[in-house]
Amino acid sequence: MEPSDFRMTRQRGLILQELRKSKSHPTADEIYMMVRDQLPNISLGTVYRNLEILSEMGYILKLEDCGSQRRYDGDTGNHYHIRCLRCGRVDDLPGNLVLGLSYDPQKIPGYTVYGHSVVLNGICTACNKV
């Protein structure tokens, strides 16, 4: 989709609004459940299509390396994630946590770098109690 073709429809706006309110990095199914109360006629397919468009346009992040189900993040700022290997929960790492990564995208031969992602894997506090 070209930027000139993009329209913020009511459905996209609501999906974006609900996703930005959530800190749980929901799946498409969870987002569908969030917006269904306000738009009862929306289909799961429409949610998937709009998530893809919002991701392509840079309004949201698509987290493809956070387990078996794709998750979405309304925070497009540069930050990292941590995923629980037992329950699948995904959280943002605290902003003051420095991972010591440094790279110069201009010095990576053969590539034009558009960004990077880091996902730490561990066991959350709730799962550690079990």
* Contact between residue 86 and residue 124 where contact means Cβ atoms under 8 Å apart: yes
What pLDDT was estimated at residue 2?
A: 60
Cα-Cα-Cα-Cα dihedral sign, residues 59, 15, 20, 101: negative
What pLDDT was estimated at residue 95?
A: 72
Distance between CA atoms of 104 and 122, rounded to whole angstroms? 28
Q: State the residue range of the domain holding 35.
A: 3-128
Residue 72 belongs to domain with CATH number: 1.10.10.10
What pLDDT was estimated at residue 129?
A: 87
User: How high is the mean pLDDT in each 10-residue block of the chain (130 residues)?
Assistant: 74 96 94 96 96 94 82 90 90 76 77 80 90
DSSP type of residue 97:
-
The pTM assigned to this predicted structure is: 0.81
Total number of domains in the chain = 1
* Contact between residue 63 and residue 30 where contact means Cβ atoms under 8 Å apart: no
What pLDDT was estimated at residue 1?
A: 59
